[in-house]
Amino acid sequence: MFQYTCLNPISHVGLDLLTDDYKKTDDINAAEAVLVRSASMHEMDLPENLTAVARAGAGVNNIPLDKCAEQGIVVFNTPGANANGVKELVIAGMLFAARDIRGGMEWVLSEEGNADIAKLAEKQKKNFAGTELSGKKLGVIGLGAIGVKVANTATHLGMEVLGYDPYISVNAAWNLSRGVKHVQDVTEIYKECDYITVHVPLMDSTKKMISKEAIAMMKPTAVVLNFARDLLVDEEAMVEALKEKKVRKYVSDFPNPTTVGKEGTIVTPHIGASTEESEDNCAVMAVNEIMDFLENGNITHSVNYPDCNMGICQAAGRVLILHKNEKGMISRYTTVLGDADINISDMTNKSRGEFACTLMDVDAALTDEVVEKLKAVDGVLRVRVIK
């Protein structure tokens, strides 16, 4: 029986996949797996039992990835599972910035009960007029799951699209419309674009990447859209630029005291992924990742360990070892098995930065004594007997 806990509500479409071998607990200390959306885990003590965290979503800045890796806890996310939901809201964000849709709707509501509203509307509508997206230049910074979808859709809206991503994956490049111009220098986007949308993960290297200097390069008519994370943008500089009419609008999905209610801002309450479809997709992917990890030791879509997969175990036993990526590691734990007269019939070893994992299928079940010896190997962070 595996115990899991949810730190946020997770769609039942995913949770329903869990078999009778899984039990939900509210006691995190009893849980082997955590399912989470945006709840912050940075201040949490990570219990000894915990082996896996699945983020039902893309951004993992709410999870202490290195601390988890050090404790042999594998963190997963669900790449692309909510990308369409975000893409659709980005398009809505551009439309709300292009015309005063909200102002128009508020005016209509303010005239509730007025019998002459239809006539009055014809006089008032000039106040809510705007521009069209077609023919405008859109710059997409970060061409991952969301950025590619936004860029491709914008080409269908008649926009001229520039894309920037120095680390673009082969898969993303394959999916990108040929109509998108790949720029090597992001300042081209800052200087030329009417709409600029950012879709990169929040990391130390991307914090405030839309800096005061970047904002200063933008056209006074520019609209900046941020459906990624608020800390990616120097929002103090942005609010100042909006006030001085140096940019036109800032559309953000992350409410905070710096931006809410400020001139030129349009802020939504972090609802980019809050669609039935995205929530279901994320939950299904996260649950499948957790089940494959707990039952087979396989790692897919990890963000702090390498992916490692040996399918379903057909041998007498399987063990997963999470360890430091240091020289001599493999010989250290294979010696333990050799000394115990246990043959390794299949093995996969992968590394990622400072951390590595090894899956081994063995010809005999491991005794408690052998497991203890594996755990005692210098550099080993976690030993999980799968079978």
Ligand X SMILES: O=C(O)[C@H](O)COP(=O)(O)O
* Residues engaged in binding ligand X (CB under 6 A): 37-38, 57-59, 82, 270, 272-274
CA-CA distance, 351 to 298, in Å (whole number)?
14
For residue 48, the minimal CB distance to ligand NAD (Å) is 29
Structure tokens at 64: 């202490």
Q: What mask, x for binding ligand NAD by CB under 6 A, covers residues 257 to 286?
A: -------------x-xx-------------
Asked if 164 interacts with ligand NAD (CB under 6 A), we say: yes
Q: Which is nearer to ligand X, 59 or 104 (CB)?
A: 59
Q: Is the dihedral of CA 333, 335, 339, 342 positive or negative?
A: positive
Q: Which is nearer to ligand NAD, 146 or 370 (CB)?
A: 146
Q: Which is nearer to ligand X, 80 or 139 (CB)?
A: 80
| Beta pairing class for 355-362 and 160-164 | unpaired
For residue 172, the minimal CB distance to ligand NAD (Å) is 6
For residue 293, the minimal CB distance to ligand NAD (Å) is 20
Residue identified by tokens 């023919």 is: 135
Q: Is the dihedral of CA 80, 84, 88, 91 positive or negative?
A: positive
Q: Which is nearer to ligand X, 61 or 348 (CB)?
A: 61
Footprint of ligand NAD on 22-81 (CB under 6 A): 57-59, 79
Closest C-alpha to 71, from 40, 47, 35: 47
Taking the mean position of all CA atoms in its chain, how far away is CA 208? 18
For residue 309, the minimal CB distance to ligand NAD (Å) is 20
Q: Which is nearer to ligand NAD, 30 or 92 (CB)?
A: 92
Footprint of ligand NAD on 102-161 (CB under 6 A): 141-147
Q: Which is nearer to ligand X, 284 or 336 (CB)?
A: 284
Q: Which residues contact 262 (CB under 8 A, 6 or more apart)?
A: 239, 242, 243
Q: Which is nearer to ligand X, 57 or 72 (CB)?
A: 57
For residue 197, the minimal CB distance to ligand NAD (Å) is 10
Asked if 86 interacts with ligand NAD (CB under 6 A), we say: yes
Q: Report whether 10 contacts 33 (CB < 8 A).
A: no
Binding-site size for ligand NAD (CB under 6 A) equals 34
For residue 304, the minimal CB distance to ligand NAD (Å) is 14
The secondary structure of residue 365, as a DSSP letter, is P
Q: Which is nearer to ligand NAD, 59 or 306 (CB)?
A: 59
Q: Which is nearer to ligand X, 274 or 351 (CB)?
A: 274
Stretch that binds ligand NAD, among 17-25, 68-76, 197-205, 286-294 (CB under 6 A): 197-205
Residue 33's alpha-carbon distances to 68, 153, 364, in angstroms, are 12, 37, 27
Interface pick for ligand NAD out of 165, 194, 279, 361 (rule CB under 6 A) = 165
Q: Which residues contact 381 (CB under 8 A, 6 or more apart)?
A: 69, 70, 71, 72, 322, 323, 324, 355
For residue 183, the minimal CB distance to ligand X (Å) is 25
For residue 80, the minimal CB distance to ligand NAD (Å) is 6
The secondary structure of residue 28, as a DSSP letter, is G
For residue 277, the minimal CB distance to ligand X (Å) is 13
Binding partner selected for residue 37 from ligand X, ligand NAD, none, CB under the kind-specific 5 to 8 Å limit: ligand X
For residue 252, the minimal CB distance to ligand NAD (Å) is 9
Strands (E), the chain: 2-6, 22-24, 33-36, 52-55, 74-76, 137-141, 160-164, 181-182, 195-198, 223-226, 249-252, 265-267, 317-324, 344-352, 355-362, 380-385
CA-CA distance, 86 to 150, in Å (whole number)?
9
Footprint of ligand NAD on 199-228 (CB under 6 A): 199-202, 206, 209, 227-228
Residue identified by tokens 């790692």 is: 299
Structure tokens at 254: 């992350």
CA-CA distance, 333 to 326, in Å (whole number)?
13
Give residues in contact with ligand NAD (CB under 6 A): 57-59, 79, 82-83, 86, 141-147, 164-169, 172, 199-202, 206, 209, 227-229, 253, 270, 272-273
